[in-house]
Each structure stands twice: as structure tokens, then as C-alpha cells.
Amino acid sequence: MKTLSCTENYHGHALSRKRLFIATFGCQMNEYDSQRMAQILQKDYRLTIAPEEADVILINTCSIREKPENKVYSLVGRYRRLKNKRPDLIIGVGGCVAQQEGQRILDRMPYVDLVFGPQAIYRLPKMLRDLSRDKSTRICATPMENDFEIPSPEAPLPNPGTVRTFVTIMQGCDNFCTYCIVPFVRGRETSRPPGAILEEIRQVVSEGVKEVTLLGQNVNSYGKKNVNFPDFAGLLRLADGIDGLRRLRFTTSHPKDLSDALINCFGRLETLCEHLHLPVQSGSSRVLKRMNRHYDRDGYLDKVERLRKACPEISLTTDLIVGFPGESERDFQDTLSLLKIVEYDQIFAFKYSPRPGTRAAEFDDQIEEEEKSRRLAEVLDLQKKIGFKRFKALENTIQEVLIESVDQAGLKGRTRGNHVVHLEGNKNLVGKLIRIRIDRAGNHSLRGSTI
């Protein structure tokens, strides 16, 4: 769980009367949504990191895996005690669990005042006003597809000092991977008009942002349903031309929609960083078919080869599921061998966990928990060696690093390849792009020094 903190991102609102606590679970899309909530509400609320002093508690939930969902329920239950002490406290549950469960949350938890889906966050100011006015009101706002609310141009933008930010370019997903609940809770793919996206990038850049990550469940299919929209490669080219933007990234990419035009953007567009998160999920074509991923092992490896040809220094990261229903030992070995071939810089690997409402949850060849744990440990052990080798290869190289933050341990920044780098230096370097030498590789980050 992550907590948005006023000291991190939202200076300057200490005089606001009410206090807002936001707990965030899950993916970058949820982190983005939480930032948006804070921005949209910053006129009336200042963020606090202490739920016990909050006037409003919003829990932004994730239903991708079972664990976060369970955690969410127990967390919401804990806030009940606060509400007993202070009946005026407003408790809201947002995100994917809210979208999926809707009214059931209100029925199950009488102390929850508000349930709102990802597409309803722009209604928060009004909904909170209504709840403050009438204590007996309870609201369930879970609009679905074709109700994608595009931020108005007046929507507040990141505060000064923010170095990197997300800009959402689309919502929803049309893919229906058999293990995933997202299309059911976030609706069908809807792209934002390019003009609104470019305008938002211009605005955040004018606020001092150096790096923008374009965000969507499947950014590679951006604009496919809209006659006058550019494709995703075209959108990247337009964003690349924005004055003052120094770095551009995007996530998430579905391998089946990774076009040659997009591959060729790497190494050619000046702002586009040499990093791609390309979720493979499994190295076995048989499992990929059952996952309904619409690519096979060879097709995926072919795209990796083309990416490395277009941009040899590109760093690749991925998501992996082990223990998908019916995954045999041979399928699992295919995943291990794919890891050895691709040599990712980093992976995010998880044990399969059935999500109610998905097709895979109904498959009758579920894998034993113990076996899933064994496979996960093996995958992580292999990747530890591969990742360290990739990081080690960066020792003694010169890298451009965007310094993001400072704490007692020193400065923290990121290379264009998305490797975290720690170094000593003046705090005035926060927000600057500097060239550094990589001195030492660790398992998850690098140590460098200014040159």
C-alpha cells in the first residue's frame, strides 16, 4: 500500500481546512488516479499521512490479485474504529474493487459512505460536498465504458517541483486475458483526443516536469478506434516535438500490438527513453494461448530481436505469472529458457491467483500453492543472476540521470534505461539531468558519482 504524502508532492496547501488521506493499492494506473484525486481535491483538502487526523479517507483499491483485495477489506475495516470516534469522517472506496463490487461494498460495510469507480474520480468534489451536507447520504458511482471522463483543462496539474509525472492517454482494455479482471472493471478501450494529451504534456512541462510517462492499460492500441487520431507511434512523435520535454516513457504495452512503427521510435525519438516494459506473462506458447494473449513465444522473441536491432542499448522489463492453470513442468521450463534468452533488466513475477469473474478462475487444472511457490522462487533466483549481470554491464559507463529526490542516504535518480541510481551530491541537483559515472552495480540499483 502506498500513501500519498503532502510533503512529497503537495506543498503549499497547508491552509486548506480539511484533511485528506489516500491509501493506494496496485498498479501505476492506480497511483496516477490517486494523484489525480489529490489534485482535483486540493482546493478543499490538504493531504495528510495520518488517517486518524483525516476528514476524508479514500482507499484506491486493486483487484488484480487476491491479496491486495483482502488487504483492502481489512484496511477499510480498521478505519471503522476511526469513524466510531468521529462520525463525521467520510470513508470512500475507489479503484477496481469498488468498480467490481459497487453496491455490495455499501451493503457489507455500513460505515463506508462512498464507492466510486476509476471513471468517476472527476466527480469527487461534488460527491464529497453532497456527503458533507447530508450525513445520511451514501453514494455508489461506478459508471462503465463510454463514460470516460476526460480531465477538464482546468483540472489542477502537478505541483511545482514534481520532476516526473504520468499523463493518461487511454482507459480500459479490449483484450480479455483469461486471468484478468481489468476489462470488466475499467471498461472498453477509449482513447483521449491527441490535442488534450499534448496540451496536458505542455502544461506539466511548463510546471517544471522533465519526464512524462504516457499511461494506459494497452497504450499500443491507442487511437485504433478513432478515425482522426494518430496511432501510438504517431502520438509519440508529436509528444517528442514538445519544447522542454526531456524524457518520454510509456506503459503498459501489449506485445501483440507492438508495431514496427513503434519499435522504430526507439533510438530515433530524442526524448523516448531506452526502456520498454513488455509483459510476456509466460514463455510457453501453450500457456499463452490459454491466457488468450494473442501472441506466441516465437512471435514475442521476434519482437524482442527487432527491438534490440533498432535500439541495442534498450533495457527490457516484464511481468510474469507462474503456476497458471495447467502450466506443466515443461511449460515452466519454457518460461525459464525465455528469461535466459531475453535477459530482462528486471521482472515482476507473481504466482497465479484466481480472480472471481475471470475465465481462468473456472479452469479445473489449478496448480497447487506449494508448487506455485517453488516455481516463483526458481524464477526469481534465475532473474537475480540475469539482472545482476545486466546491471554489472553498466559499471564504468557514463549515464544521463534525472535526479528525482534526496534523503539522508543521498540523491536518487534514474537512467534513461530506468535503472535507479544512488549518488552523493547537492540537493539542488533534484530535478536536473546530469551525467554520471556508474561505479557499482547492486541487485536492484546502481551506485554512481558525478563527473
Q: CB neighbours (10 Å) of residue 320?
A: 22
The grid coordinates of residue 30 equal 492506480
Which residue stretch of 175-183, 198-206, 294-302, 308-316 sits at the interface with ligand SF4 (rule: CB under 6 A)? 175-183
3-state DSSP assignment of residue 51: helix
Place of cell 480479455: 176
CB 228 → ligand SF4: shortest distance, Å? Answer: 25
CB 381 → ligand SF4: shortest distance, Å? Answer: 25
The DSSP output letter for 272 is B
Q: In angstroms, what CA-CA distances link 48 with 10, 82, 200, 317, 443?
A: 10, 15, 27, 33, 33
Q: Does 95 bind ligand SF4 (CB under 6 A)?
A: no
CB 142 → ligand SF4: shortest distance, Å? Answer: 18
Q: Does 218 bind ligand SF4 (CB under 6 A)?
A: yes
CB 397 → ligand SF4: shortest distance, Å? Answer: 33
Figure out which of the listed residues 180, 201, 314, 438 binds ligand SF4, where binding follows CB under 6 A. 180
CB 177 → ligand SF4: shortest distance, Å? Answer: 3
Residues 6 or more apart in contact with residue 156 via CB below 8 angstroms = 39, 40, 42, 43
Strands across the sheet with 346-351, in order? Answer: 275-277, 315-322, 346-351
Q: Draw the binding track, 232-271, toward ligand SF4 (x: CB under 6 A; -: no contact).
A: ----------------------x-----------------
Figure out which of the listed residues 175, 282, 315, 358 binds ligand SF4, where binding follows CB under 6 A. 175
Figure out which of the listed residues 23, 91, 177, 212 binds ligand SF4, where binding follows CB under 6 A. 177
Q: Among positive and negative, which fits the CA dihedral 435, 245, 156, 151?
A: negative
Report the distance separating Cα 178 and Cα 113, nearest Å: 33
Q: Does 401 bind ligand SF4 (CB under 6 A)?
A: no
Q: Does 191 bind ligand SF4 (CB under 6 A)?
A: no
Q: Draw the binding track, 122-161, toward ligand SF4 (x: CB under 6 A; -: no contact).
A: ----------------------------------------
Figure out which of the listed residues 53, 176, 405, 410 binds ligand SF4, where binding follows CB under 6 A. 176
CB 318 → ligand SF4: shortest distance, Å? Answer: 13
Q: Strands 2-3 and 18-24: what pairing?
A: antiparallel
Hey, what's the torsion of the CAs at 292, 298, 304, 309, to 10 degrees? -150
3-state DSSP assignment of residue 164: strand
Report the distance separating Cα 12 and Cα 7, nearest Å: 9
CB 8 → ligand SF4: shortest distance, Å? Answer: 28
Q: Output 173 or 367, the one with its CB closest to ligand SF4.
A: 173
Which residues contact ligand SF4 by CB under 6 A?
173, 175-177, 180, 182-183, 217-218, 254
